[in-house]
């Protein structure tokens, strides 16, 4: 049981050059952020620079029987946090990440199970973040999240994620 004001223990970093096991990372994330177990995440995977979640709609229904905007927004924000955290972990950094700014645009109702994708907003966003971390010890990256229900783009979100200085 999590206690208010008490940080959750960090997940040990993966071996040098390796990626986190998606199942182990999601299990840790569910412990660290209790609402995660209720989001309906069925799968997490990498596709190139993208982080992808496959999700069930059932836990995120609104009163109209479609996707609840507040829950979908929370998912896009968390997916960006995960993208940034996993990117850091692959490079051997155990750092705190916070969302600095986020916005979303709802394009169509979510009427079934869906997938969320997260990618850097700019082509060289990852390289810029790496350079800023090396030179300043902190940095930011702009990420785009898209929610797809089949072939329909239902939600597009943008987030600016800050990597805090090492403590």
Contact indicator for 154, 122 with CB cutoff of 8 Å: no
Sign of CA dihedral 61, 66, 70, 74: positive
The predicted pLDDT at position 154 comes to 98
Q: What Rg do the C-alpha atoms of the chain give, in angstroms?
A: 16
Interval 119-161: pLDDT, tens: 999 999 999 999 999 999 999 999 999 999 999 999 999 999 9
Q: In this structure, are residues 79 and 146 in contact, taking their beta carbons and an 8 Å threshold?
A: no
Fold annotation for 22-163: Thiol Ester Dehydrase; Chain A (3.10.129)
Tell me the pTM. 0.95
**Segment 33-54 mean pLDDT:** 95
User: Domain coordinates of the chain in residue numbers?
Assistant: 22-163
* Residue 139 to residue 84: CA distance in whole angstroms: 11
Is residue 118 predicted with pLDDT exceeding 80?
yes
Q: DSSP for 71-124, please give it.
A: HHHHHHHHHHHHHHHHHHHHTT----EEEEEEEEEE-S---S-EEEEEEESSTT
pLDDT per residue over 74-115, tens digit each?
999 999 999 999 999 999 999 999 999 999 999 999 999 999
């Amino acid at each position: 049981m999590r206690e208010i004001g008490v940080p959750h223990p960090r997940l040990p970093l993966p071996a040098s050059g390796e990626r986190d096991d998606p199942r182990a990372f999601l299990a840790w994330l569910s412990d660290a952020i209790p609402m995660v177990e209720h989001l309906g995440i069925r799968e997490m995977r990498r596709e190139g620079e993208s982080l992808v979640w496959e999700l069930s709609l059932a836990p995120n229904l609104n009163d109209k029987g479609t996707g609840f905007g507040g829950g979908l927004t929370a998912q896009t924000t968390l997916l960006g946090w995960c993208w940034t955290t996993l990117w850091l972990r692959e490079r051997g950094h155990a750092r705190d990440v916070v969302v600095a700014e986020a916005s979303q645009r709802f394009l169509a109702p979510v009427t079934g199970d869906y997938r969320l994708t997260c990618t850097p907003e700019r082509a060289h966003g990852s390289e810029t973040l790496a350079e800023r971390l090396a030179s300043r010890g902190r940095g930011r990256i702009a990420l785009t999240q898209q929610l797809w229900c089949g072939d329909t783009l239902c939600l597009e979100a943008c987030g600016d994620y800050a990597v805090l200085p090492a403590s």
